[in-house]
Structure 1
Amino acid sequence: MLVANWMTRDVLTLTSDRSMMKASKMMKDKGISCLPIVDEDGKLVGIVSDRDIKDASPSKATTLDMHELYYLLSEVKIKDIMTRKVITIREDETVEKAATLMLENHFGSLPVVDEDGRVAGIMTDTDVFKVLVEISGVYEGGTQVCLELSTETGSLAPVLAFLKEHKARIMNIMTHNVPENEGVKNVYIRIRDMEKPELKRLKADMEQQFKVVYWTVDPVHRVV
């Protein structure tokens, strides 16, 4: 899954000569937590987050009056508070890599840049959630079964043949990586809704032939 297919392309940016107040207002109005900072050519030169703004703002215990506070905030420039060494990702890299970088560095978003360093978009934690939801098929409901299978080559083939025999329509198959020395792993298979008698028979037969960890049914999610 490439970043290019899932990133947010309509990304808001500012130049480093703008005020901290402008950045704060823009983030608050748009409900975002950070802004990529670019030069006049659109190349990334830094990033400013709501945490940066909070750290640079006067304490609530300040003795400044409103006019003094307004003047102070308008005088602080983004270039004075932004992070200059920015971790980025490219469009042709994977969503998985983006998620790893965000998780390891405790980021809520990651700027996407082209080969010239220009901002092409942004990958947010919301975008990553969308990937999980879309590829899982959970919006369309269905039944998920978790099986414990051998890590040996071909262990999934009997399961697929079994599901085909029972006319189960597969929506999604997922698993997780395990060390090479582990002999088993969990595989998660989502199938489309079936008539209750057919599903009951499928469950009974599957539990006789395979090691079932759990079954769970998700209702169809209707967007209001």
Structure 2
Amino acid sequence: MLVEEIMKTDVLTLPPTASVAEGLQLLRDNRIRHIPIVDNKSQVIGIVSDRDVRDASPSVFDQFTDHRALNNEIQSIMSHPVVTVHPMDFVEEIARVFYDEEFACLPVISENKLIGVITEKDMLYTLIQLTGTNVQSSQIEIKVPHRPGSLPKVASIFGERNTNITSILMYPYNDDPNYRILVFRVQTMNPLPLIQDLRDAGYELMWPNNIAEPRP
């Protein structure tokens, strides 16, 4: 999946000379958490978060605070330089950037111009879609040898019962490089026949690991 498929394109921005007060108002009125700061060529030169603005804003409970701080230019509190992504980047790779750098928002740049943003919330929703948990389904986890052909062999068992697979994931099995865990989400509310087929084929199920199809 590409960044351009999930990014938001209706991005609210401010110029660097806008006041902190303008940033605060923009965040409140639109219930957003980040504002890209752009120059007159739509190039991103900084980014401001709701936390940046809150930290720069005087407390309404302190009568001795100098409220002139709200008149400061927003470029005085923006973060820069800004890490950006391209619309043709893979979402799965960008997720690592979010995790490693602890970002909550990344501007999307094409030809040096801002065309969108992607947020941690967008990433979380995309993960839900990729794992298939957004549709009604059953989950089956299978331990398989880590060698070529393992996935199609297991998938063929689902095909024999004409079961629709909504998603497939793979992750390591503990610290053993010889095995992997395949996670299937399938559109069936009665996975018991599939579970028994998999066991009959010699596969070890990690989940569900205590259900078997009753024998006649």
Shared fold by TM > 0.5? yes
Question: Alignment partner for residue 89 of structure 2, among 93, 99, 103?
Answer: 93
State the Cα distance separating 1:126 from its structure 2 match. Answer: 1.6
CA–CA distance in structure 1, aligned partners of residues 73 and 175 of structure 2: 52
Is the Cα–Cα contact under 8 Å of residues 171 and 182 in structure 2 kept in the other structure? yes
Q: Deviations over 1:47-78 (max 9, x none)?
A: 1112212232335674437xx52x431x1111
**Structure-2 change in CA distance of 1:26 and 1:177 (3 Å):** farther
CA–CA distance in structure 1, aligned partners of residues 115 and 23 of structure 2: 20
Structure 2 residue aligned with 1:48 = 48
Unaligned runs of 5+ in 1: 217-224
State the Cα distance separating 1:22 from its structure 2 match. Answer: 1.0
CA–CA distance in structure 2, aligned partners of residues 28 and 187 of structure 1: 44
Does residue 162 of the first structure (1) align with residue 162 of the second (2)? Answer: no
CA–CA distance in structure 2, aligned partners of residues 61 and 10 of structure 1: 35
**Structure-2 change in CA distance of 1:122 and 1:178 (3 Å):** farther
State the Cα distance separating 1:133 from its structure 2 match. Answer: 2.1
TM-score normalised by L of structure 1 = 0.84
Structure 1 residue aligned with 2:196 = 204
Is the Cα–Cα contact under 8 Å of residues 170 and 183 in structure 2 kept in the other structure? yes
State the Cα distance separating 1:39 from its structure 2 match. Answer: 0.5
CA–CA distance in structure 1, aligned partners of residues 42 and 175 of structure 2: 45
CA–CA distance in structure 1, aligned partners of residues 208 and 104 of structure 2: 32
Is the Cα–Cα contact under 8 Å of residues 98 and 110 in structure 1 kept in the other structure? no
State the Cα distance separating 1:177 from its structure 2 match. Answer: 6.0
* Percent identity over paired residues: 28
State the Cα distance separating 1:91 from its structure 2 match. Answer: 0.8
SS of match in other structure, 2:181: strand
Is the Cα–Cα contact under 8 Å of residues 47 and 80 in structure 2 kept in the other structure? yes
CA–CA distance in structure 1, aligned partners of residues 193 and 173 of structure 2: 31
**Alpha carbon RMSD of aligned pairs, Å?**
2.3
State the Cα distance separating 1:151 from its structure 2 match. Answer: 1.2
State the Cα distance separating 1:18 from its structure 2 match. Answer: 0.6
State the Cα distance separating 1:180 from its structure 2 match. Answer: 10
- Paired residues, number: 208
Is the Cα–Cα contact under 8 Å of residues 165 and 186 in structure 2 kept in the other structure? yes
**Structure-2 change in CA distance of 1:179 and 1:13 (3 Å):** farther
TM-score normalised by L of structure 2 = 0.87
